[in-house]
Amino acid sequence: MASTRSATRQQAMYRALLVLYPRSFRRDYSEPMAQLFGDQLGHAGWRVWLRAVPDLTRTVPTERIEEIMARLGTGARVAALAFIVVGAVAVSVGLGGGAVPILAIAFVAVLITQRRLFASTRHGEHAPLRAAAVQAWWAPLAALLGVAMVVGGIGTIFEAHNWGGRVFGSALLLAFGGGMLFGLMRRPFDRLAGNSMILLATIPALAFFWVIVPAVLAILVWIGVMSSGFSDRSPAAPAMP
Amino acid sequence: MQQGQPSAFPPLPSATLHILVALASGEKHGYAIMRDVEVLSDGAVRMGPGTLYGSIKRMLADGLIEETEERPDPDLDDQRRRYYMLTGLGERVRVAELQRLEALVRRAGSPDWARRRVPRLGEA
């Protein structure tokens, strides 16, 4: 049993650790959680920390991810997905075939531990990544195309055989690649502007259509953008009398 | 999935099932739920506050439990404590999940199942 003073101090320490949880979770549950910890402390003494610390390390990331996903708009969720896909591709390229089992294990671990992000449940908002993937499946492809153009642009600076290629080739690739990524980020806030930039940025991939993979990606991006609604601007409101 | 369909829930996460079973005997506050879960599981399931209230949050959102309006007598218990109880849906989901587990245990323990021997790799 802990003395009253020690128990108060330990409860205050636990209460301070609750700051790790998202604000909305803290607002609703920090008081009962601290109270519960105090009850456990009175019963089991300092040994309660042996349970509380693993509990914190397990539940804080879960609540954080859930809170972030609930707060993000579809566009931002898509950007997160795109980031994950591009990161996975970068790891694959960097590590070669050895990355495949690592990525597969990471994917399965996320799928198991964060099933709510993907699973279809009673409420649509409980499957944020699934909703994002269904509504904007093409965005990771666009992100991949954008990153490839940026990487190609940087490579061209060093690899082109003449100054014209170095300056114009790299500038064009960097501009189009940057435009694609900027368009993806802009789209959640201004769909028309974002989509316009994304489609414009597919020009190099379509122009060099004999390099088959980027051309196919660009076509898929076009299909995705056009099928998900190019503009969501509502008609102008009628003038007030 | 349709809201209010118990069949849409199972298999339940372990913490959710234990909380549903603990609340079957009446409304309880967090610490009482946690103690009952320990007793129910012979000490095998020991929830921390984060696990318990994370599960409670999701169960409230899914309509499996609800917070009771009534507060305990201040002489008997801390009035700040929150009490939770099963909803009709929560009760149906609890029954459905327990039936599923019963069927699984029955099947797994049957001699027919034990006799089913899968040949090892390389065996003819």
Task: Tell me the three-class secondary structure of A159-226, residue by residue.
Answer: HCCCHHHHHHHHHHHHHHHHHHHHHHHHCCCCHHHHHHHHHHCCHHHHHCCCCHHHHHHHHHHHHHHH
Q: To the nearest whole angstrom, how far is the Cα of B108 from the nearest Cα of chain A?
A: 24
Q: To the nearest whole angstrom, how far is the Cα of B33 from the nearest Cα of chain A?
A: 11
Return mean pLDDT, chain B.
85
Is it the case that residue B2 has pLDDT exceeding 60?
no
Q: What is the pLDDT of residues A4-43, one digit of tens each?
A: 778 888 889 999 999 999 988 999 999 999 999 999 888 8
Lowest mean pLDDT among A64-73, A97-106, B11-20: A97-106
CA pair distance B33, A40, nearest whole angstrom: 12
**Which residue in the set A29, A51, A60 is minimally distant from B53, CB to CB?**
A29
* pLDDT reported for residue A84: 73
Distance of CA A20 to the CA centre of its chain: 20
* pLDDT reported for residue A194: 86
Instruction: Inform me whether the C-beta atom of residue A32 falls under 8 Å from chain B C-beta atoms.
Output: yes
Return mean pLDDT, chain A.
78
**Which residue in the set B31, B57, B63 is minimally distant from A36, CB to CB?**
B31
**Which residue in the set B3, B49, B63 is minimally distant from A33, CB to CB?**
B49
Average pLDDT over residues B99-122: 81
Q: Which residues 6+ apart lie within 8 Å of A203 measured at CB?
A: A176
Pick A235 or A35 by higher pLDDT.
A35
Q: How many CA atoms lie within 13 A of A225 on its CB side?
A: 29
CA pair distance A134, A138, nearest whole angstrom: 9
Q: To the nearest whole angstrom, how far is the Cα of B2 from the nearest Cα of chain A?
A: 6
Instruction: Inform me whether the C-beta atom of residue A28 falls under 8 Å from chain B C-beta atoms.
Output: yes
| Nearest alpha-carbon partner for B31 in B42, B21, B22 | B22
Task: Count the neighbouring beta carbons within 10 Å of the beta carbon of residue B23.
Answer: 24
Pick B89 or A90 by higher pLDDT.
B89
ipTM score here? 0.79
**Which residue in the set A21, A32, A39 is minimally distant from B82, CB to CB?**
A32
From residue B48, give the alpha-carbon distance in Å to each of A39, A144, B27.
12, 42, 20
CA pair distance A130, A123, nearest whole angstrom: 12
Task: Count the neighbouring beta carbons within 10 Å of the beta carbon of residue A172.
Answer: 16
Is it the case that residue A231 has pLDDT exceeding 60?
yes
* pLDDT reported for residue B93: 93
Whether residue B1 contacts residue B8, with contact meaning beta carbons closer than 8 Å, is answered with: yes
Give contacts of A 92-151 with B, CB under 8 A. 116, 120-123, 126
A29/B57 touch (CB, cutoff 8 Å), yes or no: yes
Interface residue of A10, A29, A37, A53 to substitute, partner B, most B CBs within 10 Å? A29
Q: What is the pLDDT of residues A175-201, one digit of tens each?
A: 999 999 888 888 877 788 888 999 999
B31/A25 touch (CB, cutoff 8 Å), yes or no: no
Lowest mean pLDDT among B28-37, B76-85, B101-110, B115-124: B115-124
From residue A27, give the alpha-carbon distance in Å to each of A138, A144, B69, B74, B80.
37, 39, 19, 24, 14
* pLDDT reported for residue B81: 83
From residue B66, give the alpha-carbon distance in Å to each of A92, B69, B94.
47, 9, 15
A63/B61 touch (CB, cutoff 8 Å), yes or no: no
B45-60 exposure pattern, b = at least 16 Cβ within 10 A, e = fewer: eebbbbbbbbbbbbbe
Average pLDDT over residues A77-81: 69
| Nearest alpha-carbon partner for B65 in B82, B32, B96, B87 | B87
* pLDDT reported for residue A159: 77
Q: To the nearest whole angstrom, how far is the Cα of A76 from the nearest Cα of chain B?
A: 23
Nearest chain A residue to B3 by CA distance is A122
Is it the case that residue A74 has pLDDT exceeding 80?
no
Q: To the nearest whole angstrom, how far is the Cα of A80 from the nearest Cα of chain B?
A: 23
A33/B50 touch (CB, cutoff 8 Å), yes or no: yes
Q: Which residues of B touch A32 (CB under 8 A)?
A: 29-30, 49, 53, 80-82
Q: What is the pLDDT of residues A144-175, one digit of tens each?
A: 899 889 888 888 888 767 777 778 888 888 99
